[in-house]
Amino acid sequence: MHDFIITRAVLVDGRQVDIAINDGKITAVSTAIAAVENNQTESPLYPAKKVLDLAGKYYLSAGWIDSHVHCYPASPIYHDEADLVGVASGVTTVVDAGSTGANDIDDFYRLTRAAKTHVYAFLNIAKTGIVTQNELADMAQIDKQSVSQAIARNPGFIIGIKARMSSSVVGKNGIKPLIRAKEIQHENNQLPLMVHIGNNPPDLDEIADLLTQGDIITHCYNGKPNRILTPAGTLRESIQRALKRGVLLDVGHGSASFSFDVAELAIKQGIYPHTISSDIYCRNRINGPVHSLATVMSKFFTIGLSLEQVIGCVTENAAQALRLHDKGVLAQGYDADLTIFELKQQPQVFSDSEGKSVTGEQYLVPLAAVVAGDLVLTDEGKLKNVFSL
């Protein structure tokens, strides 16, 4: 007998499937049986302790992964609760992008154990993390030994390192913090490196030329002068070279790092994001322009991405970039992390970080997250009687 079966779930390609779950893992995925007699769905996967019939009305994907959030509650600047940016929004996995450094990572790990959402961390190369806006202005903040010790203490929780490479963060140090970050990466099993880009110095060309396969550029569609597009609107040659080396582009929307104009122009040229992430924390969640990962994902429908592409950016692509090898795919043996959602077909106004508003014709509504086989409803999902087990 299975622990949990979800029947007649609609995939993004339109197929209907039944999914069986045991001990927090997907144990089977089969073509759904559409016939219903006396409100009982027949499925080759029966019997099960719990059954959820989506009746061919709701989409299901691998659990959404937000590759860039800020959810360390004790952070003085960028803070939030993991479950508010996670399961309450249909997101099963979040990765905090550098809120904490070696000084506070153990406390952050301790706090995350109470969350229903899976929480991981990119460790800030500055030992203080983000307690000020200029954590890399003093090179003494980058203690390689402390970083390595923190990574060794938290295997499986720290999945990468983070360097914020914009002028307000690095001060007069220019490119030097990134050079140090690459040394740290080399000394710690080539963990993924996420690099925040913003105003220069350092110049984006200097940053891009140091990056190697698997490194992640976040805030890739920001509208600042030091952006990935030239004044003529073409992709910088340094970014072209970086992409050919396997460097990845992450959205990292945030309060000041996403421009509809830049994103639309880039996507028209085939410069797609590898991952879509929110850079969410309490203020831009409550007041916007971020609100949720679903909101950020929905914005990409207005600039040319399909449902399949958008979902791929927060599932398989994200799991691959973050090296979360048991997540991101709806297949036997993978973690039973799932997101159930609707695609609403009605006008919706979206805002970017530059103050521009765009009206989209459709948007995503997450209804539930399934984390290790446990169902957690969003506020919208609680209104749906279909989710009574």
253 a known binding residue?
no
Q: Give CA separation, 227 vs 109, 277, 303, 325, in Å.
A: 34, 18, 18, 31
User: Beta strand pairing status for 59-62 and 48-53?
Assistant: unpaired
118 a known binding residue?
no
384 a known binding residue?
no
Report the C-alpha gap between 322 and 270 in whole angstroms: 23
68 a known binding residue?
yes
Report the C-alpha gap between 34 and 162 in whole angstroms: 47
DSSP 268-310: HTT---SB----B-HHHHHSSS---HHHHHHHGGGGT--HHHH
Strand partners, 193: 161
79 a known binding residue?
no
Q: Give CA separation, 49 vs 40, 45, 373, 387, in Å.
A: 14, 12, 12, 15
Residue type, 40: Q
- Find out whether 357 and 345 touch, Cβ atoms under 8 Å: no
Known binding-site positions? 68, 70, 162, 196, 219, 279
Known binding-site positions for Zn(2+)? 68, 70, 162, 196, 219, 279
